[in-house]
A and B are shown apart, each in its own frame.
Chain A
């Protein structure tokens, strides 16, 4: 039915787990804490510990581990690229000479370290979107940024934009699919000729898509206005975010784990 149905967007996976039910703000705040921890890790043992934590978190979130790993797929190229750069451009003890490039022992170590680090960063960060509804996520961001509103920061507007963008992604995929098929039926071909020709073939897809997006945006704006929307002011929520003791505990535990791992690595390992 769809040419574009293979695209997935690290999307929310519903499940009844303690992680899912945490306040989104707790999860948003935990992400930088965890990322700092991973950045500080250097030793193999530390990485192993983090990998173990990842598996534990997946189990605790009731998510299949494979599904969590899949979310890193789009960035694998970036991971490989980072690793290669480190292999080729780190000075140290040579272990292999290939023509004019020299691979060093330090290079291999740095490549493994950077690759693993990046992979863990992405995997942990993806838990945020895997376990949090888009609407909750934008609510959480709005509330976290709300202190900045007095300095003119558009917290509500950004959160609303995010919500609408997420809401429109499936619609736009369907539209793109339909327009591509329609132009195909009128003799367009997207897979023949030079690169320039192929790019040009997308003009009859992109222009109608822009027209549709703007028209939809305008109609949606009218519909929102008709439903009494006038920005964030005076707006309440059906499910207001509630920070509970569990959230404090979860965040504190995250900080404790990060500190413990970092301290352990410094003091126990050479």
Chain B
């Protein structure tokens, strides 16, 4: 059970002067209960790739499959595919339309044909997942604060009970507190068996929370692997628009002058090592 992409290519405006190759020979895999991060500069093709994962866009060549179902245009399984893969767009609060939160949360399950008596429990479960209580159900989504709106928008996707959740820059514009709440939610979902695919340019989140990372550079896959491999890659190569998080850059710099230093993005680990070096150095 996984989302699998093989040798995907996608070209915008084929045959016109605007023709651009957005994705070129990209492959990835993400199982349920795994966290894959897709990182890259703006325009690297991250969002385009995300929209292939549930049949919003289709590959020119190569394949995308979700739990064994091929994602192709006019697939008889399209409804099952879109239901299995929840997609949260950038600034998802801008898609809210309903008169009250209950209607907003029922939209996806109703479209998937969930029986009406099952919808209310799904809605309140989704609401509690994002940390809001049932008192919100009767409120108008348009009158909530920015942070609450985003939570409702994410809950409206969760209410469809996706097996995978694909999120495109979900932390954009959030303050650090809300960012923390959101990453905690994703970690919890992952633990409960949802596959998480996070599109982000925040390497700090990607390195700290993912099982694997796909790094895109101008539509091509620059590297795909565990966070530690990606970190090693970034230390050795420069990728436009991507910069190592400060702690990782610091540890890499120390490592260049002292090979014993750990290559890490973890603050606590780096601190332990620096302190050990200090006490060690002071010893006669």
Q: Do chains A and B touch in the complex (CB under 8 A)?
A: yes
Stretch at the interface among A74-82, A201-209, A225-233: A201-209
Query: For residue B83, which residues in chain A have a CB less than 8 angstroms away from its CB?
Result: 187
**Interface bits B1-39 vs A (CB < 8 Å: 1, else 0):** 000000000001100000000100000000000000000
Query: Could you give, for residues 71-108 of chain A, a 1 whenever the CB lies within 8 Å of some chain B CB and a 0 otherwise?
Result: 00000000000000000000000000000000000000
Given contacts A178-B89, A186-B157, A204-B97, contact A1 B111 (CB under 8 A): no
List chain B residues, Cβ under 8 A from A28.
Answer: none
Collect the chain B residues with CB atoms within 8 Å of residue A189's CB. Answer: 111
11 contacts between A and B (CB under 8 A): A1-B22, A1-B48, A178-B94, A181-B56, A182-B87, A182-B92, A184-B82, A185-B86, A185-B89, A186-B156, A186-B160
How far does the alpha carbon of A188 sit from the alpha carbon of B108 in the complex, in Å? Answer: 8
Decide: A182 and B95 in contact? CB cutoff 8 A: yes
A183 CB within 8 Å of chain B? yes
Residues of A within 8 A of B242 (CB): none
Closest to B162 in A: A185
User: Quick one: given A1-B12, A187-B107, A187-B112, are A203 and B97 in contact (CB under 8 Å)?
Assistant: yes
A7 within 8 A of B: no
Docked Cα-Cα span, A207 to B97, in Å, equals: 6
B200 CB-CB contact with A under 8 Å: no
Tally of contact residues, B, Cβ under 8 A: 29
Q: Are the C-beta atoms of B48 and A208 separated by less than 8 Å?
A: no
A172 CB to nearest chain B CB (Å): 12
Q: Are B111 and A188 in contact (CB under 8 A)?
A: yes
* Residues of B near any A CB (own CB < 8 A): 12-13, 22, 48, 51, 54, 56, 79, 82-83, 86-87, 89-90, 92, 94-98, 107-108, 110-112, 142, 156-157, 160
Q: Given the interface contacts A1-B22, A1-B48, does A186 sit within 8 Å of B107 by beta carbon?
A: yes
CA separation between A204 and B110, bound complex, in Å?
Answer: 14
Considering only CB atoms, which chain B residue lies closest to A175 in the complex?
A: B94
Q: Which residue of A lies closest to B110 (CB)?
A: A187
The answer to whether A183 and B95 have CB atoms under 8 Å apart is: yes
Contact with B along A157-198 (1 / 0, CB 8 A): 000000000000000000100110111111111000000000
Chain A residues, CB < 8 A from B96: 208, 211
Contact with B along A203-228 (1 / 0, CB 8 A): 11101100110000000000000000
- Chain B: minimal CB distance from A258 (Å): 36
- Determine the distance from Cα of A189 to Cα of B89 in the docked complex, in whole angstroms: 17
Q: Is the CB of A187 within 8 A of B160?
A: yes
Complex interface: chain A residues within 8 A of B87 (CB): 182, 185
Asked whether, in the complex, the Cβ of A208 is within 8 Å of the Cβ of B79, the reply is: no
Give the shortest distance, in Å, between A14 (CB) and chain B (any CB): 14
Query: What separation, in Å, do the CA atoms of A107 and B207 have in the docked complex?
Result: 76
Expressed in whole angstroms, the Cα–Cα distance for A216 and B97 within the complex equals 17
CB of A5 closer than 8 Å to a CB of B:
yes
A128 to chain B minimum Cβ distance, whole angstroms, is 24
Is A186 touching B56 in the complex (CB atoms < 8 A)?
no
